[in-house]
Amino acid sequence: MNSNTINFKKVVTYAGAFIAFLIGSGFATGQEVLQYFTSYGYLGVAGGLVTLVLLWYVGVSFITAGFDHDFKKGSDIFNYYCGKKLGTFFDYFSILFIYLSFIVMVAGASATFNQHFGIPNFVGGVTMAVLACITVLLGLNKLVDIIGKIGPTIVIISIVLGIVSIFGNLEGLKEAAVSIPEMEMTRASTNWLFAAGSYVGFCMLWLAGFLASIGSNADNRKELVLGASTGAIGFSIAVIIVALGLMAHINDVSGSQIPALILAAKVHPLLATLFSIIIVAGIYTTAVPLLWSVSSRFAVDKSKKFKLLTVFLASIGLIVGTGLNFSLLVNIVYVINGYVGILLLGLMFVKSIRNRIGNKDFIESQNSSTIENLN
Residue 223 burial by Cβ neighbours in a 10 Å radius (0-12, 13-18, 19+): buried
Q: How far is CA 308 from CA 47, 266, 281, 304, 373, in A?
A: 41, 44, 25, 6, 62
Select the CATH number that applies to the domain covering 8-368 from these four: 3.40.50.10070, 1.10.3720.10, 1.10.4160.10, 3.40.30.10: 1.10.4160.10
Closest by alpha carbon to 341, among 233, 208, 231, 239? 208
Contact 155, 286 (CB under 8 A): no
Tally of CA atoms within 13 A in the half-sphere of 176 that contains its CB: 28
Domain ranges within the chain, ordered by starting residue: 8-368
Sequence-ordered list of residues with C-beta below 8 angstroms from that of 255, at least 6 positions apart, any chain: none
Q: What Rg do the C-alpha atoms of the chain give, in angstroms?
A: 21
Sequence-ordered list of residues with C-beta below 8 angstroms from that of 4, at least 6 positions apart, any chain: 222
Contact 230, 239 (CB under 8 A): no
Amino acid at 216: S
Q: How far is CA 185 from CA 92, 179, 290, 324, in A?
A: 32, 11, 28, 20
130: how many CB neighbours lie within 10 A of its CB?
14
Contact 205, 81 (CB under 8 A): no
Residue 59 CA to residue 75 CA, distance in Å, equals 15
How far is the first Cα of the chain from the last one, in angstroms, to the nearest whole number?
A: 40
Q: What pLDDT score does 321 carry?
A: 86
Q: Which residues of the chain have pLDDT under 70?
A: 1-4, 25, 116, 359-375
Predicted TM-score (pTM) of this structure: 0.81
Three-state secondary structure call for residue 132: helix
Q: What pLDDT score does 67 carry?
A: 94
Q: What pLDDT score does 63 carry?
A: 94
Q: What pLDDT score does 361 carry?
A: 52
Closest by alpha carbon to 260, among 23, 22, 31, 24? 31
Closest by alpha carbon to 108, among 31, 162, 33, 38? 31
Sequence-ordered list of residues with C-beta below 8 angstroms from that of 375, at least 6 positions apart, any chain: none
Residue 244 CA to residue 183 CA, distance in Å, equals 16
